Amino acid sequence: MNYDVAIIGCGVTGAAIAYELSKYNLRTVVLEAENDVASGTTKANSGIIHAGYDPKPGTLMARLNRTGNHEAHEICKKLDVKVSWCGSFVCAFDENDDKTVRKLYERGLENQIPELEILNADAVHSLEKNLSEKVTSALYAKTAGVVSPWELALAFAEVAVLNQVELKRNFFVSKISKIEKEKCNPQYNSAYSITSKNGETVNASFVINAAGVYADDIHSLVAKPQYEIKPSRGQYYLLDHEAKDLVSHVIFQCPSNGTKGILVSPTCHGNIIVGPDAVSTEKDDLSVTKEGLSQVAALAKKSVPSINLGLSIRNFSGVRANSNIDDFIIEEVPEAKGFIDFAGIKSPGLSAACAMGSEALSLLEKAGLHIESKKTFIDERHHIRFAELTPEEKEKLTKENPAYGRVICRCETITEGEIIAALNSPIKPVSVDGIKRRTNAGMGRCQGGFCSPRVIDLLIKSGIPPEQITQDKNGSYIIMEAL
């Protein structure tokens, strides 16, 4: 199959690029190695949309963080993505930290970040009563927020698919070959043949490498290594809704050792998230360790001494695509015309996501891609969140569709109607966690202990054979045939 553009990877970066390209008369395909979108770093991070004071001025990080934060307001609204613009604090605990806060403030001004303010101790504690008494000052960034990262990626990808972008899941890229000029689209001078480990092949005139922690491996299939991904694992606590009033802003400590430090933050779903640490690791290492969690706990209590980590309902980890270059790597590869890297997308990658599409389009045009806007383009997405409806709206909906009156997930009040809608969405989930990412079923206190069997039943009724249902990624089978 021949395409104009192939995007390798459907995390939030690849999905954002697919969304932007779906506005044009292009044949675009997204190649995702896993059985669902948002299955890598996107599903396991802090969910913060940073204000943009932290990146070094003049970098891609600084520019795209600022633009991405600004554009997220409109995009999250029209694509119906949960977001809360709660603001953030960077807390100081001594004179050295006070100086760091001042430097971050000045850097933020240089990065043209609006609504920054340095607060004294009294002002900080008036806004966050549970912060440590040892906090001496804080940088207050009003434009920071929290978002559901997997929902943002899903929204981008679903709208792209609605606008005729093709998504190929379980397409693990194993080989990329240049195609002879004579066999290319006559409009362009080069093209690539991309082969999966299962032998499936697609051809594309242009390729976007958005493969996350595997971006350097994909790059090396077409050119000599120019950078190295050095993955870093971060571990978290997720606290029950009972802890929701602990803090109302994202609480950072002063950054050190190349990280933004341990945070204590509300989520857009009403939980509190705590973490992460930063440990050099392998690309597929999602382990959680006693030592790592103990370090996270100790540092979190520095900010919020009263935090009750006994309210944790889940521990998890995510791997970041850190690289040996202190910036995003976004460029056409010199030795491979038409092949564009979006690599090293570490923090603030999520914050920059809403700007990635236009960045990719600009680079593709410079590389020679011809674009023409579509006359018709679906640029919205809506879904029902039953728990957030008024009593009158709930009554009306359940009369119209009784499935919305049957609660499947008690912890989060997720109904059968919402799960059926997810199963009929543009990108059908194939796993229990795929349902969780689309509806929040299983995200609550019992972590699916009550609702998982009923979710499995609905997956079976949707046409998935019982023995093929997984918890999440391929191989995590739940039901086994009797021996």
Q: Which of 420, 427, 423, 434 is nearest to 474 (CA)?
A: 434
Which residues does 435 contact at the CB level (< 8 Å), separation at least 6? 419, 422, 423, 429, 441, 442, 455, 458, 459
Cα dist. 52→93, 118, 256 in Å?
A: 22, 15, 17
d(CA 89, CA 91): 6
Residue 330: in which H helix or E strand, if any?
Answer: strand 329-332
Is 269 an annotated catalytic residue?
no
What is the residue whose two structure tokens read 């913060």?
Answer: 48
Amino acid identity of 84? S
With 0-12 / 13-18 / 19 or more C-beta atoms within 10 angstroms meaning exposed / middle / buried, residue 172 is middle
> Look-up: residue for tokens 């540092």?
299
227 is written with which tokens? 């950078």
Q: Exactly one of 50, 219, 249, 269 is catalytic; which is it?
A: 50
For CA atoms 218, 221, 222, 228, the dihedral sign is positive
- Amino acid present at 359: E
Structure tokens at 238: 């997720």
Q: Which residues are catalytic?
A: 50
